[in-house]
Homo-oligomer: A and B are copies of this chain.
Amino acid sequence: MADYVQPTVDVPALTTLLDGEYAAVRDTVRKHLAQHAGIVVDEQTMGRDEFRERVRDLVVEAADAGLTGYGFPKEYGGGGDVGASIAAFETLAFGDLSALVKFGVQFGLFGGAILQLGSERHHAAYLSDLISGRLMGCFAMTETGHGSNVQALGTTATYDAATQEFVITTPDRSARKDYIGNAARHAELAVVFAQLLPAPEAASEGVHAFVVPLRKKGLGKDGEPLPGVRIEDCGHKMGLSGVDNGRIWFDGVRVPREALLNRFADVTADGVYTSEIENPNRRFFTMLGTLVQGRVSVGGAGINAAKVALTIALRYAERRRQFETGAEEGDGEEEQLLLDYGMHQRRLLPLLARTYALHFAQEIVAGQLHDVLSGVTTEERDRRALESRAAGTKALGSWHATRTIQECREACGGAGYLSANRFAALKADTDVFTTFEGDNHVLLQLVAKGLLTDYSSEFSDLDQLGMVRFVAELAVETVIERTSVHKLFERVKDLLPGGDDWDQEAGLLDSNYQLAMLRYREEHMLAGVARRLKRGVDDGMKPGAVFSRVQDHVIGAARAHVERLVLEAFVAKVAKTEDGDNKVALGLLCDLYALSVIEADRGWFMEHGRLSSQRAKAITREVMDLCRKVRPLAVDLADAFGVPEELLQVELLETS
């Protein structure tokens, strides 16, 4: 690197690169956020009830500004562009996150369920009203007793052929709908997930979705629940105080037969259940697949919330001085800027690099979502790969938000603790991202299942125990063969020097080396999981016990897989960037991300013979060196995220 020349970041050009295809949509949303930046102050100063109304109004204002329809069909007033809707949602995450989540509940979950699970009659009845915010709804899936295991929901929808109605009932406390956003106050309708019984005493055909009125149109006093519906506020939450989460009980509420969202299954007037998807598990997972948009959205929102925190913390670190005057020792050194401290660089700059990496990974998954939902691709396998990728990016993106916001808060000291400096809300509001729209650990298990079954359509609807049996009995050889080390070596041997010693000889900053390391880790872990599953079953353990013992390896393999995908996305983006200083800067960040990932798991690489202790130490030195190179660019790199200045008017960045 003797010829290394420190680059200068062209901030607007980098913003354009980050914004990508939907730059215009993102800018429209930025303007909207700037106009309504006061919401982040309202969040701190208003009482809960007042703030909830403010947030509701803001959602309607977003509709007026044309931000809510991007993903819906044009015939109902939408834009017909799923990618645009994701870009809009991601960008909204720079602002208040109660407004974001309320927006997501209304247009993503409620609207998305109507759109994707319903048929023409539901679209015609609801879509244009819901896009405009005139019709507010909620998505009533989760129950107190069943969060992740949706197949076991307790709410029932029993068909009564005499009246051609479904009767919706909450049989016990554990089956009450819980944590339902928009339910406590504003939703007029609910999409309710319930066990469909074609007749009283019949067996359930599995979980299906129904449109159930909760309130008469209108709010306030007119908004009392309808007969048979009981609604309770979930009460105070850690964050997202502007979202009215509630609990719902149904006591024999009757809805017409047509209330069933019948894209994938229906019940005839005389009570015969029909579906084009014969396997009930498959049918269930197909319906659940409609959740994928929510996961892509939450992942992107987490990544963008992290950008806000980093922008504030990095700007602060470049103006705040701390220690040592050194005056009395007479050398006249003035207090150093926080960002000149090695530890401060170490704390923040790898997180900056990881934010860039996740941004580009998110861009890919959002593009895949667009292609699947728009019918650009109709391959079942693509849909399954998307589900897996959405799950993985959501998990890593939301954990990244939690970790980054925490580190940024601490890096701003006591000032970071004041709500006026935004970390309080960022932290409290994003906290739930790690467990809603799918618990992160459960999502990573989904990722692993896809890898272990190679997204094969016959097996992707397996539950965990089915997966254990399938891998142990049928797939173990396939997995081991597919992930075998010699195959990886074949793939890298033309890219890297050193032959079989590629991992010793390649340059640390060679992205082929970095990728080979992450691929090796992923494939080795995956094969290890397959072997362990088989061994457990062969030893006569119950599948549940086998899964429990192997669970942390399962999750580790999934995480390794997603980190590899993220690096691939970043490397590909750098490769496509035209030569110049911005490419150099992105290259530094990409190396910093890759080597930070390897460094963090260097114990594993050493255990598995892929890293000598000398080389491990060299990686740590390189990470430090990269931090020093990124340091002068750091604030520009954060500014390129394009968080509206109006949302960065925080106390700790005021000049005295």
Contacts and interface: CB of A to CB of B under 8 A. Distances in A.
A343 B551 contact: yes
A420 B142 contact: no
23 contacts: A144-B656, A145-B656, A147-B322, A174-B656, A237-B424, A239-B417, A323-B463, A324-B465, A326-B544, A329-B465, A331-B543, A333-B465, A333-B543, A333-B544, A342-B550, A342-B552, A343-B551, A346-B552, A409-B431, A410-B440, A602-B607, A606-B613, A609-B613
Contact of A603 (B423, B616, B624): B616
Interface string A237-268: 11100000000000000000000000000000
Contacts of A343: 441, 551-552, 555
A616 to B, nearest CB: 5
Contacts of A543: 326, 331, 333
A142 B414 contact: yes
A149 B333 contact: no
Interface in A29-63: 44-45, 47
Contact of A542 (B235, B331, B423, B544): B331
B414 A435 contact: yes
Nearest to A174: B656
Interface string A384-409: 00000000000000000010001001
A70 interface: no
A435 B415 CA distance: 10
A267 B181 CA distance: 64
A234 interface: yes
A639 interface: no
Contacts of A460: none
A577 interface: no
A454 interface: no
A322 B548 contact: no
Contact of A613 (B172, B555, B607): B607
Interface string A90-130: 00000000000000000000000000000000000000000
Interface residues of A, number: 86
Interface in A194-248: 234-239
A346 B441 CA distance: 12
A336 B547 CA distance: 11
B342 A549 contact: yes
Contact of A544 (B179, B324, B548, B609): B324
Interface string A493-525: 000000000000000000000000000000000
A432 interface: yes
A363 interface: no
Nearest to A554: B343
A436 interface: yes
A147 B439 CA distance: 39
Interface in A128-179: 142, 144-145, 147-149, 152, 172-174, 178-179
Given A434-B410, A435-B410, A607 B607 contact: no
Given A45-B236, A402-B406, A607-B616, A336 B145 contact: no
A148 B606 CA distance: 39
